[in-house]
Amino acid sequence: MGCLTPSIVLLCACGVALSAYAIHVEHSKQRDEGYRAHCDMDETIACSHVLTSDYSRGMGLAAVVLGKDHILNIPNSYFGIIIYPLLLILGVASSYSKPLLLLSLFMCAISCLVSVYLLYVLFFVLQKICLVCMGVHVTNLVLFILFILKSRTLLRNDVSTDIRANGLRKKKAQ
């Protein structure tokens, strides 16, 4: 478990950096139509196109379901700015609390489901590749895997602690 928490912290920092860059690209493109992001390679690999599409705000669903002016119709990247620091805190704190670990797993599972939806939109609806988005989706998947490994390690440690405690009680009873 020793390397899991630092890995989680590092990935959360990467998630924040990717989200911040996505926000930068979106705002720059909105200010200047001629802006070309570093991740815009050609017509197909075009981050700025993806990050300014209707799907880049509220997952493309908030405007349709809740209205264009709803508070949840914010850039998807803002969710990353919120989620990754929370996962960073939970990544550290979950070493000491099963409920926080379960919350972390739940948040990561939701992030992965959102990533699957956004990957579908990316490839089949927009038919573009966004390198920043791909980085976020990979980050979500790896974080989920790391939290699963962390939970298995913590549960295994709890079981071995319970076994040792039960063994001590039996010896004292004899």
pLDDT given for residue 40 in this prediction = 94
pLDDT given for residue 97 in this prediction = 84
pLDDT given for residue 154 in this prediction = 78
**Which own/partner contact pairs does 112-118 have at CB distance under 8 Å and 24+ positions apart?**
112/140, 112/141, 112/144, 114/59, 114/140, 115/140, 115/141, 117/59, 118/55, 118/59, 118/76
131-173 helix and 4-31 helix, angle to the nearest 10 degrees: 160
pLDDT given for residue 1 in this prediction = 47
pLDDT given for residue 168 in this prediction = 55
Q: What is the mean pLDDT of each run of 10 residues along the chain (174 residues)?
A: 82 97 95 93 94 93 89 92 95 86 94 97 96 97 95 72 54 60
pLDDT given for residue 4 in this prediction = 82
Longest dimension (CA), the chain: 81
